[in-house]
Amino acid sequence: MNKTVYFLIDCSGSMYGKRGDAVNTAMEEVMKKVVPDIIRDKDANMKIKFEVLGFAGADTIKVIIPETDLESLSQQWAPLTAESFAGGTPTGAAIQAVIQDIQGGARGDKDPDALPPAIILISDGEPNGTNPTFDEVMECAVKGGSKEVEAFRRALRVAIGMNVNEEGRNSLKKFGKVSAKMEGKGISAYYDCSDQYTENFINILKSATLNLSVG
């Protein structure tokens, strides 16, 4: 059994400063403290990989960490720099990139043993961008019939809103979807967080990462 956990990190200009610092701190905690727990607790028959994507600008997707084996993940992470944060919030393009990547779709080497992935989205605002829009991508995920879209539809998806307004919150809630099993473990499909309470954000990200990986 193979499983991929995706982090989608909003790198728009409004994430610069305290929000970006909170993301860096939380991701560092995941690498140092959660990854060893996942290695310890995962099913011996499951191979877990991680991929970290940033999204910003018009429709720009940046591969922060390419698909990486769990055991090598901590060595791949480097804090996001101030220059990483600029432009808008093309959440739709980021989700489309994941849909194309699921089960190796973008690389042309689909994995027949892959489980539906887990996706953790971190953002502070209402999605924008033009190609594709957030609503178009989510509509495709609901109605589309390809294997990649089906895998995305079945994926465990958690959205974390950093100081979001009401419109952004409503959009992020459309993205999130977790199973009854995850809910039983205390995992929600959507979380409101604040850069004023970084410790809360860290704990949420750590818990979501661990449970979505080994659950």
**pLDDT tens, per residue, the chain with 215 residues:** 789 999 999 999 999 999 999 999 999 999 999 999 999 988 888 899 999 999 998 889 999 999 999 999 999 999 999 999 999 999 999 998 998 888 565 444 566 677 889 999 999 988 888 877 888 888 877 776 677 788 888 899 999 999 999 988 998 999 999 999 999 999 999 999 988 889 999 999 999 999 999 88
Domain ranges of the chain: 2-214
Please give the CATH number for the structural domain made up of 2-214: 3.40.50.410
At 156, is the secondary structure helix, strand, or coil?
strand
Cα–Cα distance list, 74 to 9, 115, 116, 172, 209 (Å): 17, 23, 23, 28, 14
Instruction: Provide the terminal-to-terminal Cα distance of the chain, rounded to the nearest Å.
Output: 13
C-alpha span between 197 and 194 (Å, rounded): 5
Cα–Cα distance list, 189 to 34, 89, 109, 179 (Å): 20, 20, 30, 9
Q: Which two tokens stand for residue 31?
A: 């690498």
Q: What is the pTM of this model?
A: 0.93
